[in-house]
Structure 1
Amino acid sequence: MSEYQYYEFLAVDRPLSEQELDQVHALSTRAEITPTSFTNEYHWGDFRGDATKMVEQLYDAHLYYANWGSRRLVLRLPDTLLRAETAAPYCAEESLRAWTRSGHTLLDFSLSSEDGGEWDVETSYTLSAFVSLRAELAAGDLRALYVAWLAGLTVWELMDDDEEEYARELEPPVPAGLATLTGPQRALADFLHVDGDLLAVAAETSRPATTTAVDKKALAAWIAALPAAEKDMLLLKAALGTAPQPGLRLLARYRDATIPSPRNAGERRTAAQLLDAANRHRTERERLRKEAEAATQRARALEMSKARDAHLTRLARDTEQAWRDVDNLIAQKKPAQYDIAVTLLKDLREIHARAGTSAEFHQRAAGLRETHRGKPALMRRFDDAGLLSS
């Protein structure tokens, strides 16, 4: 299998400067580079840059995957929108890291080659599928973080490791709306191979998603209550471009002040409890699937039986014509017509059996064999079908 690696970087909050672009161009001669993006595919060799440092210093999002299974998504947000401490409860060695660098929080969603499995060559991703996660996280929607924690739990289950550790590990706070993931969140779950049954049972204690709409009057009142000096400083930084997206910062602060943090509806579940529940969910889902398949097969068999009964009823209205049709088909001396004649004879055998005239069928069938015994291709078809044996 040939090697394949995909690298993509996006600058969302600000474009790269000319000096920064020169720095990036020095890393690759084949990459597609613009002031806001870097994209390259490798079928041999490797990327010369340090992807982590590039996100820490230049870009707001990075996507990487390789056909041997490794996959990685890194998002960078101003730490005023999301603090690393907020993400910390959701971090797992196997799937999510969070740290702070130069006033930004970085989130590293990843699976190693062992955990990611072989890449499906028919599947491809771009950052457009994930970049909206930044805005969701900035708005206080932490579902992507919980999804990443579940990815780590999925890896644990595959490892079949220390069950005592599973019993000690408690789930992080369950965000609202886990049962109704957004498109980017669903893409992240697929990207990180989150088990669907595990996600389903994890969502059982999740409150319904709250609306993302903002009450303009309430927001206006909250902004009006901010100190004038603070608002002046926000406007100054926005004008100078030293504090990108002041609107998101304000909305994040407003939501922190007015929307309660995610809480578990009941007691926090352990990893072992979630994995056991996922196994039960998987077993029940498979049982229901098999029952549905069996019901479908029964319904299909019933329809086929009804159709055959209707066909035989029509044929029984004039069996003499059916016998003449058999003679005419055999007379054409063609393999396809022989096949049709044999099928028609099977129908006649069943019709005569239903009417209690099987003896008549066998007598007329014996006559056919005697008449056409010089046609070996037809005789073989009679024998294979169990008809007209001598």
Structure 2
Amino acid sequence: MSEYQYYEFVAIDRPLTDAEQGELRAVSTRGRISASSFVNDYQWGDLKADPRKWMERYFDAHLYLANWGSRRIALRLPAQLLDPDLAATYCVGHAASSWAAGEHVILDLCSEDEDGDEAWWDEETALASIVPVRAELAAGDHRLLYLAWLLCVQDRQLDEDALEPPVPPGLGTLSGPLRSLAAFLRLDEDLLATAARASAPLTTRTPSAAALAKWVRRLPVADKDEAIVRLLRGDGAHLRAELLRRYGGGTAQAMGGGRTVGELLAGAETRWAGQQRQAEERAAAERARREAAAAAAREQRLDALAADPEQAWQHVAELIATKKPKEYDSAVGLLIDLQALGEREGQRKAFRGRMHQLRLEHARKPSLLDRLERAGLIASASDEAPA
């Protein structure tokens, strides 16, 4: 199988300059480069650059996937919106890491599947469906950070007696972008559901216009001037989130965790086992229903045959006389029902006699005889041969 790798980088907070685009072009002549993105795929080669360095220098979001099972999402946020120490609390393993780079904090989340990718993603829309989680995190929603920690738990990168970090609200009702992220990184649904049991409902406090106006009037003049200058200079990408955080109208805060990694893994295993039992019970009930329906339908057919079995035998003869494979199959189906009728009516010997006669009459029809043998209506020639 040939190799396939897909790289996508997106600049969100500011466009790339012409010089920066030229630097990217010097690395890749095939890459699709614009002021806001770099996209390229490789079937034999690879990107001749370090994605981590590109995230530090140029981009705010990065998606990578390969057909041997590797998937990666990286996000960059200003340090004033994501405390590096907070990110390090949740990003604690190879599956989820974080680091400070200048005025930014970068999150790097990855998933590996040695069996390769059976469920393939539409790479051209994958990042677009996930990247809004960056704005959610910037606004104070820490569910992304907790998912990053769960990814480390899932990959068995933590001791089982390690305690979980604070649990943010709303884990049981993830946003669309967070669901896309969890699916892309193959986050186990049972583990997520187990973790969500300790997560409070998500409640957002949206301040009224009057409350905001009252708060703004109390802001120091220097702070207002700084906000306006930043906005006019084009530095207002996250200004609203910063001000709302300062106001206190953002997402509800995370609650203390306290469960161990081992408890979460055991809870996920128990939930999985329970769902498996339920699935098996549903499957068994469905099989029983189908079998009962088939048995009832068969009894109705046998009742109809019992009213005039000779007519059924005559119909068998007519079907065989056509010498058509499809009609042979219909004849075999009818003979199977006649065999069952013989069993039910205590006429097994009579049925075998008529089948012996039918075999003699059609000894020169190997296709028909083969069908009868495979249906168990007659013995094979080797079984009947004398010892």
TM-score (norm 2): 0.86
Q: What amino acid does structure 2 have at the position aligned with 1:123?
A: W
Cα distance between partner residues in 2 of 1:93 and 1:134 = 20
Give the letter aligned to residue 227 of structure 1: P
Further displaced range: 350-359 or 172-181: 350-359
**What RMSD in Å do the two structures reach over aligned CA positions?**
2.7
Residue among 282, 285, 289 paired with 1:299: 289
Q: Give 1:71's aligned residue.
A: 71
Matches within 5 A, 1:1-390: 1-111=1-111, 115-120=112-117, 122-125=120-123, 126-156=126-156, 165-167=159-161, 169-211=162-204, 213-255=206-248, 260-264=252-256, 268-358=258-348, 361-362=351-352, 364-365=354-355, 367-369=357-359, 371-372=361-362, 375=365, 377-387=367-377
CA deviation digits over 1:153-189, x for unaligned, max 9? Answer: 11117xxxx8xx321x111111111122222212222
SS of 1:283's partner is: helix
5+ residue gaps, structure 1: none
**What SS does the corresponding residue of 2:197 show, helix, strand or coil?**
helix
Write out per-residue CA displacement over residues 103-139 of structure 1, whole angstroms, 9 at most, x where no aligned residue. 222222234xxx4435416334342122101111012
TM-superposed CA distance for 1:146, in Å, is 0.9
Gaps of 5+ in 2: none
| Aligned counterparts of 1:378 and 1:41: Cα–Cα separation in 2 | 57
Name the TM-score, length of structure 1 as normaliser: 0.86
Letter in 2 for 1:16: L
Q: Is the 8 A contact 2:203 2:252 kept in 1?
A: no
Please give the secondary structure, in 2, of the residue aligned with 1:26: helix
CA distance in 2, matches of 1:129, 1:81: 22
TM superposition shift of 1:102: 3.0
State the alpha-carbon separation in 2 of the partners of residues 7 and 388 from structure 1: 64
How far is the alpha carbon of 1:366 from its aligned partner? 5.1
- Percent identity at matched positions? 44
CA distance in 1, matches of 2:48, 2:377: 75
State the Cα deviation string for residues 310-364 of structure 1 (Å, max 9, x = none).
2222333332321221222233344443332232222223234434555654555
| Partner SS, residue 328 of structure 1 | helix
Q: Give the SS at the match of 2:77.
A: strand
> For residues 58 and 290 of structure 2, what CA distance do their matches in structure 1 show?
60
* Alignment length (residue pairs): 377
Contact 1:116 1:192 in 2 (8 A): no
Per the alignment, do residues 243 and 367 of structure 1 end up closer, same or farther by CA in structure 2, a change over 3 Å counting?
closer
d(CA) in 1 for partners of 2:58, 2:373 = 79
| d(CA) in 2 for partners of 1:366, 1:70 | 64
Whether the aligned pair in 2 keeps the contact of 1:151 and 1:189 (CA below 8 Å) is: no
Decide whether the 8 Å contact of 1:129 with 1:184 is kept in 2: yes
